[in-house]
A and B are shown apart, each in its own frame.
Chain A
Amino acid sequence: MVCPSLFSIVTVGENMAAHTSRAFLSLGRINVPGLGLHKSVSRVTYSTGLSTDSSKATTGSPQKGGKKVLSKKYKREPGDPRTELMPVDQDWTAVYPVATPFIPDAIPLPVRMGCPVKGGAPPEKKGNLELIKIPNFLHLTPAAIKKHCEALKPFCTEWPSALDTDAKCDEHFPIKVETKSYVSAGPSIRNPAARIVHLSVKLSSLNLNDQARKKMLKLVGDRYCKDTDILTITADRCPLKQQNYDYAMYLLTVLYHESWKIEAWEAEKTVADMEEYSWEGSLSQENILDVLVRMKEAGEGEGEEVREQLLGRREVQEYKDSVTRLKNEGENESTMLQYKEAVKKVLKL
């Protein structure tokens, strides 16, 4: 059978090692498509090796000559990968001028990617599909970007020298409009995402008094960020960018004018509607004045003047600050401590 004699070839020697490996390979290739060992499709490759060995003495040159003709096709050995030939100070933008998939032989980096073999490293870059699948930005190195900038410079104008700080930009140009445009190769150059317009403005740059500001905040809702004091209006309901921009500017104008108007029903604003806690006229004020009057702190007196006098006291002012802070900022250790100290002072403990 084929198998026993294969092992005999292994033991022969170094010369045969090359043959054996090829013989192994051929055996493998026979086995893989499921052919049994009995069948010998590339019997030619295998058996000739065998016959060379065993029938060296018996058969003569005719078979040897046949072997030369029927043996492996001429295959050119692959040369060194391009990475070996690249100089260190080459122009990379010439290697990757456009977005191209990953070519392991053109990139002189020992990159590895994928799931590591147990106790080993991730697979190398040669023949690595993972590296080919992902997008790469090798065509956008800083050198390439510099070249792009140089190419774009003839089309640009100078930045105005007077606007050298952010503060000056905000002062002269408080309204900032942000749009995105898209370029891609495809059947159509249009992109519906290009119609979105973001308009941002700082409320401190608008002329609003206290009531107008509160009304504006109520009208605007989520679009206002408290930390940065920026109102952002996003318009995307029209099909064209220019239409959305006009709509966003219109919204800003309308909001501004509406927040300055005072309606009749705004007088019915209740405590629950208030954005911030105000101590004057609250239950807390009543309580503390009540307590102090009963403690007879102000001495004998009547109504209003007693209250006025009490309100003017420093402890009462401190108490008022602490309660306002507690209600507006929420509770944490520091506000609680401040409240405690203020109450102790007011109640003279």
Chain B
Amino acid sequence: ILHLNERICPIKLFGGSQQQEAVAAESEPEPLSIFRTQENDPACQSEKHFGQYYTLPSAHVRTVFPHGLPMRYKQQVKTFNEACMMVRPPALEVISSLKKTDNSKPAVRYLFYGLKGSGKTMTLCHTIHFCYTQGWLVLHVPDAHLWVKNCKELLPSSFNSSRYDQPLQATEWLRNFRITNEPFLSKIKTKQRYVWTKRESTEEGSTLGELVDQGITRVKTSSDVVGAVMKELRLQSGQPESDFRLAVAVDGVNALWGRSTIRKMNNTAVDPEELTLVYNLRKLMKNDWTGGAIITTLAQTGAVYTSKYSYLPKELLGEKGFDSMDPFIPVSVPNYSEKEFESCYLYYMDRHWLQYPHSRTEDGKKELIFLSNRNPSMLERICGFH
């Protein structure tokens, strides 16, 4: 790697891949495979790919992640014109467990936890990509915190008068759900008749697509539609006649059992349980259904009424949350290891993201390590200035 750094130094920016290969061929046989891997299928990735970046096809990025990727990563994808994700141990651990899931057993719950900016959301996205490539139905809630704060419209629920609806959030989620799971919408049929108003109802046996369209067009009923979709999927997955497997991915799952900042008309706070969306999602979180998996992440960024430094499961989930999620498999997502840091550094160098010549020296690298403490998000921000 030292050789590569020194050799790249004299080459100016416009040295394309040819020049790089020409030069690096003297020192190492395959320069690009140090931090990149050609194995773009998550199912075939293994320990020897640890620390290497694999490319997500742009078609996948558009369908699987209409709303799932972190904001800064989306900007990076736009800048670099490619979506590269690092293969890291926590993701592969969960993926290998998912490969071995038994359809007849109850759904297993996985929880990614770690310090702020250590890569939990990205690991979740990697796992979701795996589920998508394997043909699972992905129910992805990108940020559960969005459902318990900053609600512009709060309607009392027509279904249950003690609960509250959030039409805007529900419609947005349904739209993104439709983009991700196009192929399944026409295959899955509802098992129950849903009556929305006196004149509108969805008959038994109609496709999921019609249900979702109903929710998107009739905004008022969207929250109940979300509930119906979740119920249908929960009942049908794992049954012998259905051929799909359900992956429920929730980012910021601690929002479901925390506090909300939404207030009712009389200025009292709304308990998350009183929100239809949260109530239905909580039902999905229980492992009383089969034929799939529940992959979740804790998130402190965006959480309300939590300390900035808390990252451990019990402190973010609280007693109630922990008891509801129990038994789950906690997976720790640590900061970059040395190898992963090297890989990230080389990737940024390759993408010409590190502009200053000082950052190409050993001293510059040590400075980056010191400033960021190998924290992925800090590193990304700092490299933008270097």
Q: Does B11 contact A (CB under 8 A)?
A: no
Q: Does A274 contact B (CB under 8 A)?
A: no
A287 contacts B327, C-beta separation under 8 Å: yes
Known A-B contacts A284-B323, A347-B108; the reply to A339 vs B330 at CB < 8 A is yes
Q: Does A331 contact B (CB under 8 A)?
A: yes
A326: chain B residues within 8 A (beta carbon): 314
Q: Does A336 contact B (CB under 8 A)?
A: yes
A340 contacts B312, C-beta separation under 8 Å: no
Q: Does B287 contact A (CB under 8 A)?
A: yes
Please give me the residue from chain B that is nearest to A290 by CB atom.
Answer: B288
A331: chain B residues within 8 A (beta carbon): 312-315
Per-position binary interface string of chain A over residues 279-303, scored 1 when its CB falls under 8 Å from any chain B CB and 0 otherwise: 0001110011011001100000000
Please give me the residue from chain A that is nearest to B96 by CB atom.
Answer: A349
B326 contacts A349, C-beta separation under 8 Å: no
Known A-B contacts A283-B326, A319-B327; the reply to A295 vs B106 at CB < 8 A is yes
Please give me the residue from chain B that is nearest to A349 by CB atom.
Answer: B97
A347: chain B residues within 8 A (beta carbon): 105, 108, 327, 329
Q: Does A344 contact B (CB under 8 A)?
A: yes
Partner of B327, one of A282, A288, A332, A336: A288
B326 contacts A294, C-beta separation under 8 Å: no
Q: Does B196 contact A (CB under 8 A)?
A: no
Partner of A349, one of B108, B287, B288, B323: B108
Complex CA distance for A295 and B105, rounded to whole angstroms: 6
Complex CA distance for A8 and B10, rounded to whole angstroms: 75
A327: chain B residues within 8 A (beta carbon): 314
A343 contacts B106, C-beta separation under 8 Å: no
Per the CB 8 Å criterion, the residue count for chain A at the interface is 25
Which residues of chain B from 171 to 188 have a CB within 8 Å of any chain A CB?
A: none
B287: chain A residues within 8 A (beta carbon): 291
Per-position binary interface string of chain B over residues 121-141, scored 1 when its CB falls under 8 Å from any chain A CB and 0 otherwise: 000000000000000000000
Q: Does A196 contact B (CB under 8 A)?
A: no
Per-position binary interface string of chain A over residues 313-340, scored 1 when its CB falls under 8 Å from any chain B CB and 0 otherwise: 0000001000100110011110010011
Which residues of chain A from 7 to 21 have a CB within 8 Å of any chain B CB?
A: none
B108: chain A residues within 8 A (beta carbon): 347, 349
Please give me the residue from chain A that is nearest to B108 by CB atom.
Answer: A347
A349 contacts B106, C-beta separation under 8 Å: no
A4 to chain B, nearest CB (A): 66
Q: Does A346 contact B (CB under 8 A)?
A: yes
Known A-B contacts A347-B108, A349-B97; the reply to A340 vs B327 at CB < 8 A is no
Which residues of chain B from 92 to 149 have a CB within 8 Å of any chain A CB?
A: 97, 100, 105-106, 108
Complex CA distance for A165 and B288, rounded to whole angstroms: 61
B332: chain A residues within 8 A (beta carbon): 333, 336
B329 contacts A284, C-beta separation under 8 Å: no
Complex CA distance for A339 and B328, rounded to whole angstroms: 9
B257 to chain A, nearest CB (A): 13
B327 to chain A, nearest CB (A): 5
Complex CA distance for A310 and B37, rounded to whole angstroms: 46
B92 to chain A, nearest CB (A): 14
Per-position binary interface string of chain B over residues 289-314, scored 1 when its CB falls under 8 Å from any chain A CB and 0 otherwise: 01000000000000000000000111
Partner of B313, one of A282, A336, A344, A349: A336
Complex CA distance for A349 and B326, rounded to whole angstroms: 16
A266 to chain B, nearest CB (A): 23
A349 contacts B100, C-beta separation under 8 Å: yes
A85 to chain B, nearest CB (A): 61
A288: chain B residues within 8 A (beta carbon): 326-327
B364 to chain A, nearest CB (A): 32
Complex CA distance for A283 and B327, rounded to whole angstroms: 10
Complex CA distance for A290 and B330, rounded to whole angstroms: 20
Complex CA distance for A336 and B323, rounded to whole angstroms: 15
A343: chain B residues within 8 A (beta carbon): 327-329
Complex CA distance for A151 and B326, rounded to whole angstroms: 71
Complex CA distance for A344 and B330, rounded to whole angstroms: 10
B330 contacts A346, C-beta separation under 8 Å: no
Complex CA distance for A201 and B373, rounded to whole angstroms: 48
A11 to chain B, nearest CB (A): 63
Which residues of chain B from 270 to 300 have a CB within 8 Å of any chain A CB?
A: 287-288, 290
B120 to chain A, nearest CB (A): 15
Complex CA distance for A347 and B329, rounded to whole angstroms: 10
B327 contacts A294, C-beta separation under 8 Å: no
A323 contacts B288, C-beta separation under 8 Å: no
Can you pick out 9 interface pairs between chain A and chain B where the beta carbons lie within 8 Å of each other? A283-B323, A284-B327, A294-B290, A331-B315, A332-B312, A340-B329, A347-B105, A349-B100, A349-B329
| Apart from A331-B314, A333-B332, A346-B327: 13 A-B pairs, beta carbons within 8 A | A284-B323, A284-B326, A288-B326, A288-B327, A291-B287, A294-B105, A294-B106, A319-B327, A327-B314, A336-B330, A340-B331, A343-B327, A343-B329
- Lowest 7 A-B CB distances belong to which pairs? A283-B323, A331-B312, A343-B327, A331-B314, A284-B326, A294-B106, A295-B105
